[in-house]
Amino acid sequence: MEQKIKMEDAFSESDVKTYSRGDTISGTVVQVSDNEILVDIGYKSEGILPVSELSPFRPGGKIEQGEHIEVLVTYIDEEKGTVYASEKQAEYEKRIDGLEAAYHEGHVVEGEITSEVKGAGYHVNLDGIRAFLPGSHLGGDLPSSIDELRGKRIQFKILELSRRDKNLVVSHKEFIKERERLRRKALFDSLTPDQELDGVVRSIVDFGLFVDIGGFEGLVHRSEIAWKDLPVPPAEYKIGSPVKVKVIDFDREKGKVSLSIKRLRPNPWDGISKRYSAGTQVDGKVVSVTDFGAFVELEQDVEGLVHVSELSWGHPENPKDVVSEGDVVPVVVLSCDEDAHRISLSLRRTQRDPWEDAESKYPRGQVVAGVVTKITDFGAFVKLEEGIEGLVHVSEIDWGHVNHPRDLLKEADSVNVKVLGVDSRERRISLSIRELKDNPWRRFVDRYAIDEIVEGEITEIKDFGAFMKITDDVDGLIHVSEISNERIATPADVLAVGSKVQAKIIGINEEKHQVRLSMRNLFGPPEVPTVADDESDRDRGGKGRRRRGATPGTPTTGKERGPKARDRERVDRRFLDESGHESLSMRDLLGKAGIDDES
């Protein structure tokens, strides 16, 4: 080696190059030994390259004589004129220069994850340069397991780079953000209003669909899915389903794209009033049934409502009793509002109106069979045929007092009824059940008369009085003022349901089927004063007569009554108070004068 250094005298000053520490130079391998390699670098002596400083990327770690390589000057021995070099550091500087340029220019680099740093992140090999990847910067598209990551080539953005500290930090998450930013920019640059695109449904929410239109998701609001109102997106749309959309609007700054599906086809509501004018009959498909009616599809995105009142000529409780989803039914257009997107339809008007001949079919007095469909406080509805129901008022259920129709009838009962009247215009039929039964009032009037004392059980107590059972079919009312000679607050102070009492008949209203009773002065009330025959006849209309031989004011019982009891005299109306009760005080004032018998 010393001989080679002494050969410097053989070179002129112009032939010898000068180098400084850290310079990267090119040279040719002139000699290879076990520990070092001599490299001709154009210096006055060959550079010495220790084998340990060979590039780690050299295949097999071998080097051949005559090979051209790049090395970095690591040390110069001025006394001996010896230059020491490193291929490894030259390679590092070359690669770190590339990474530094990528860092400053924002370029993407690629590397391989080699190992995990527990609780912190991962080591990454960037083509020979080791970098650190924080766990928080792994990105959402990669698994966190090192077994799945090791050996994968992944793209990164450089977050930090320091030559002096040999610090290099990278991020895959930032690479994803940058990629999305560039993709979004390219997308918005290419978008135009009314542009049609192919997309894929990525997510479904109550207010619409999010559709991927090429790396970016736009929203199809539910109002833009179809030309009809939709509370939520239809079930036909699934995540991952391909879908064609039209661009409505986009905002580059906010990063929003509004899309539409329905605008890919013409608005079916344009000119619809001409296609579905009032009175037109068409076929449609029942698409939904609600409490208030059924929606029928006439064509795509065009639906009309058949209100529950237009489903049938009857009165269905539930529209589902008439139609079901999927049924194809004929309907008549009642009205069409093109601006409001509303069509009213009728199903019943495609059928014969049963009320057209109801008056001739159900004449007054006819007895017909029917089924109880509904019971209310005021009576029971009876179905006579499909579309025709009549009402049996509570007063027409039985000749006796009925607290509630449910006491005698229940829904689905089959009953015979008598027609009392038909009003086709108002679609009403009055029916009666009691008219088919023997009238107990006829028997009652024949048997009982005014002033008779009867005995019965208290069946009901009200604030205004108490009801007493006279016969199995007839109840009488004892008004609160007729219960006691003493003033009482309520009937319940004196009477109780179930108790048996005696009362006097003080009034009979044959037309209203009412009997008034009194518990006052049952035995020995004042006599009715005598009046002139013509005056008595005029007041009584010639009807009120007292049985011959009967003493005025003398109580009689039902056992004494004969078949001509209806001719029994009624109380003179001049001696009734405003409530229809006998005024005892007036009779007392008039004295003991009686009414002469009429012969």
Instruction: Please check whether residues 485 and 403 belong to one and the same domain.
Output: no
Our CA dihedral for 437, 441, 444, 446, rounded to 10 degrees, sits at: -100
Q: SS3 for 413?
A: coil
Does a structural domain hold residue 599? Answer: no
DSSP assignment string, 160-193: EEETTTTEEEEEHHHHHHHHHHHHHHHHHHH--T
Instruction: Please check whether residues 344 and 358 belong to one and the same domain.
Output: no
Q: What is the CATH number of the domain that holds 457?
A: 2.40.50.140
Instruction: Please check whether residues 495 and 361 belong to one and the same domain.
Output: no
CB 581 within 8 A of CB 479: yes
- The reported pTM is 0.48
Query: Is the sign of the CA dihedral 303, 307, 308, 313 positive or negative?
Result: negative
The 3-state secondary structure of 258-325 reads: EEECHHHCCCCCCCHHHHCCCCCEEEEEEEEEECCEEEEEEECCEEEEEEHHHCCCCCCCCHHHCCCC
Does a structural domain hold residue 574? Answer: yes
> Parallel, antiparallel, or unpaired: how do β-strands 514-518 and 475-479 relate?
parallel
Does a structural domain hold residue 596? Answer: no
- Identity of the residue numbered 35: N
Give, for 37, the enclosing helix (H) or strand (E): strand 36-40
Instruction: Please check whether residues 258 and 335 belong to one and the same domain.
Output: no
Number of domains into which the chain is organized: 6
Our CA dihedral for 36, 41, 45, 50, rounded to 10 degrees, sits at: -10
Q: Which of 447, 559, 448, 543 is nearest to 504 (CA)?
A: 448
What 8-state DSSP symbol labels residue 452? B
Instruction: Please check whether residues 446 and 585 belong to one and the same domain.
Output: yes
Residue with tokens 């924002």: 106
CB 286 within 8 A of CB 277: no
CB 508 within 8 A of CB 580: no
Does a structural domain hold residue 421? Answer: yes
Does a structural domain hold residue 185? Answer: no
Does a structural domain hold residue 306? Answer: yes
Q: What is the pLDDT along the chain (599 residues), one digit of tens a residue?
A: 444 444 444 444 444 467 777 788 888 888 888 888 888 888 777 888 888 888 777 777 778 888 888 888 888 887 777 888 888 888 788 888 888 888 888 899 998 888 888 889 999 988 888 899 998 898 888 888 888 888 888 999 999 988 888 889 999 999 988 888 888 888 888 888 989 999 999 999 999 999 998 878 899 999 999 988 888 888 889 999 999 999 999 888 888 899 999 999 999 999 999 999 999 999 999 999 999 999 999 999 899 999 998 998 877 878 998 999 999 999 999 999 998 889 999 999 998 888 888 889 999 999 999 999 999 999 999 999 888 999 999 999 987 778 899 999 999 999 999 999 999 888 899 999 998 988 888 888 888 989 999 999 999 999 999 999 998 888 999 999 999 888 888 999 899 999 999 999 999 988 888 899 999 888 654 444 444 444 444 444 444 434 433 434 444 444 444 444 444 444 444 444 444 444 443 334 333 333 333 33
Instruction: Please check whether residues 461 and 337 belong to one and the same domain.
Output: no
Does a structural domain hold residue 136? Answer: yes
Give the N- to C-terminal CA distance of the chain in Å, as an integer: 178
Q: Which of 414, 434, 429, 436 is nearest to 362 (CA)?
A: 429
Q: SS3 for 99?
A: helix
Domain that holds residue 87: 2-91
Instruction: Please check whether residues 255 and 284 belong to one and the same domain.
Output: no
Does a structural domain hold residue 520? Answer: yes
Instruction: Please check whether residues 112 and 170 belong to one and the same domain.
Output: yes
